[in-house]
Amino acid sequence: MVKKFPAQVFLNRELGQLEFNRRVLAQAESASIPLLERLKYLCIVSSNLDEFFEIRVAGLKEQISLAGVPAGPDGMDALQTFRLVREQTHQIIAQQYRVLNDAILPALELEGIRFLRRTKWNDAQRAWVKEFFFNEVMPVLTPIGLDPSHPFPRVLNKSLNFAVELQGKDAFGRNTAKAIVQAPRVLPRTILLPPEIGGCEHGFVFLSSILHAHVGELFGGMEVLSCHQFRVTRNSNLFVDDEEVKNLRTSLQGELPHRHFGNAVRLEVTDNCSPQVAEYLLQQFELGPEDLYRVDGPVNLVRLMGIPGQVTRDDLKFQPFAPGVPTVLQKKGADIFKVIRKGDILLHHPFQSFKPVIDFIQQAAADPHVVAIKQTVYRTGVDSELMEALIAATRHGKEVTVVVELLARFDEEANINWASRLEEVGAHVVYGVVGHKTHAKMLMVVRREDGKLRRYVHLGTGNYHPRTARLYTDFGLFTANEEICADANEVFAQLTSLGKARKLRHLWQSPFSLHSQILSAIRNETRIAKTGKPAHIIAKMNALLEPETIMTLYEASQAGVKVDLIVRGVCALRPGVPGLSDNIRVRSVIGRFLEHTRIFYFRNNLAHNVYLASADWMDRNFFRRIEVCFPVLDKKLKRRVLEEGLKKYLQDNCQAWDMDADGHFRQKTLRRAAPRCAQAVLLQELASQLNQV
């Protein structure tokens, strides 16, 4: 039976996600951030909004079409939410392009980084662009004139396209008035001109400008009346029927191609697109006027993400750094198994290197005493040293078992490819439990030592992905603790075999015990507070949405428990409401790195219980995923997690945003206090700064 809670105590999920994007957009507006990094933040907003429409807005539109779908915990139905989302998204996009046109592009131009508009090209630039068009662009274009034998083409999700209005007759005497030009994805969206042509060290032209200038070459003898770029966003949710599926990988491989052609949910056009062309495109995609978004610039800002990599100006970027390595692992050729036996090892990424994790599995692959390796894979990337090490281990005769989550959104294809390669060399590959995504981050090595088998485990809050380990904050723990290793082994057994879930000694696991254990820990603090003793909860996560957890936190607050929540993204809890959540504070930290750690602290009468987890406090993580939450038992490491992962973030007055009861955030201001930036301090303490060239 689904529990009912009063709607007024919850905030809306979709609106919370848009609030998060406002905070990211504020980074692009901040003059304190290096200029090329500000451009990146602008691109991240676009990327976030793309996924927001592909998944969340697509879901809202499906609910609206079905009708009768119950309202969410906040009491708003899908149509109400959709209308507010549309209104607020228009505001965010308008501000985004204002920042681009009025702040970032002019500032870049002052630094010799220019985006040359075709109306201002000189003769040399026009000649260079023309030659580029004929040599590099035109050969790969396929313009499509629209007539009864050439219907409106299938337009790929998020691709760049042009709607062209024509006048005149073609070679066959046809009076075709409309055509579509699709920009192939192999073409770069921004082209760097030679300095002597561009007139500056870094002069760029947009592919859209080149096509606009020469689109007439594609329709010889006809007059081009107008040319407008457009982009459509489609529903990217994959549907796999849990009850009907017989082979998950085969079903998914059949479904993946359809992602590019799901139902349209948004149409983007430039602000000078005529109403007639916009209306025509909306009709073709079966969209209404509420789905149209006009922008003052390129329709896909994500493509500007590559600009910083093409510009050799380190002074306009974040200062580079070398991730630190724990002292116990710094000795060259150190036996990592021997080091772990001496005591648990904590890694704090990206301030500390991810390389010890790679070394761990590479040593295991080559070690003749290692007999088995087991790992979960959620996201690992197209190129992965870890996966190559697993393949090598299999070839060396190890028993390798890999639990690959095929339904890791937008990483499905990469995971399918890795699963195929692993199977080809003889590894055991399983896909977890149908209906439950395997989101736990676990790696176990079984080694024969002194005539008996010993387990070593790595547990983490983030993915086994070396690239994102340089961009996301996460903790990873190496341990040879026999009870924790036995728990991890039990979870692997659940994922690969059949049987009842057994009670674990230390790990809290979804979908079995994590939710109830979290509630129990919160209620324990509530009981302590009611006796008049100090009680404190600190929780750091990406999202807080699950209603019963929120209600339990409200009860804790009313009992006098101090609750500090550090929630990067969406939070449905209302903090600071008199009589409801007086003792709850919610903050979000947006900085150079994406905050990704999940840390749960309970004071528990000075026991100071600290847990790290792969799970946020969301319905899906508690009930529809395989997740693992694990304790930090070593006292020194526990203090490190508290200091590095929680206290520094609660003290941050540079990149922290405090949330009010209506879900709005206000950035923390310095006033007279000395600046305290958690990420900057951690870089200083744990990493090595590199001198800029």
Query: Which residues does the annotation mark as catalytic?
Result: 439
Pairing of strands 665-667, 144-145: unpaired
Give the 3-state DSSP-derived string for 458-504, with helices as H, strands as E and coil as C.
EEECCCCCCCHHHCEEEEEEEECCHHHHHHHHHHHHHHHCCCCCCCC
Tell me, rounded to whole angstroms, the distance of Cα 509 from its chain centroid: 23
Beta strands in 116-263 (DSSP E): 144-145, 161-167, 178-182, 190-193, 202-206, 223-234
Tell me, rounded to whole angstroms, the distance of Cα 242 from its chain centroid: 25
Q: What is the DSSP letter of 659?
A: E
Whether the link from the prior residue into 153 is cis, omega within 30° of 0, is: no
Which residues make beta-bridge pairs with 402? 375, 429
626 near 442, Cβ under 8 Å? no
Looking up tokens 């903050």, which residue turns up?
A: 587
Pairing of strands 113-115, 202-206: parallel
Q: Is the dihedral of CA 254, 62, 48, 266 positive or negative?
A: positive
Beta strands in 260-342 (DSSP E): 264-270, 292-295, 321-322
Q: At what angle do helices 514-530 and 547-559 cross, to 10 degrees?
A: 10
Helix (H, G, I), strand (E, B) or coil at 538: strand
Instruction: Please report which residue ranges of 67-146 form alpha helices under DSSP H.
Output: 78-99, 105-110, 123-132
C-alpha to C-alpha distance for 493 and 496, rounded to whole angstroms: 5
Lookup: tokens for 149: 């034998």
List of residues 6+ apart from 221 with CB closer than 8 A: 168, 169, 170, 171
Lookup: tokens for 675: 């600046």
Which residues make beta-bridge pairs with 205? 191
**Nearest-CA neighbor of 402 among 416, 382, 383, 381?**
416
C-alpha to C-alpha distance for 170 and 177, rounded to whole angstroms: 10
Pairing of strands 292-295, 625-631: unpaired
Which residues make beta-bridge pairs with 203? 114, 193
State which H helix or E strand residue 429 sits in.
strand 428-430
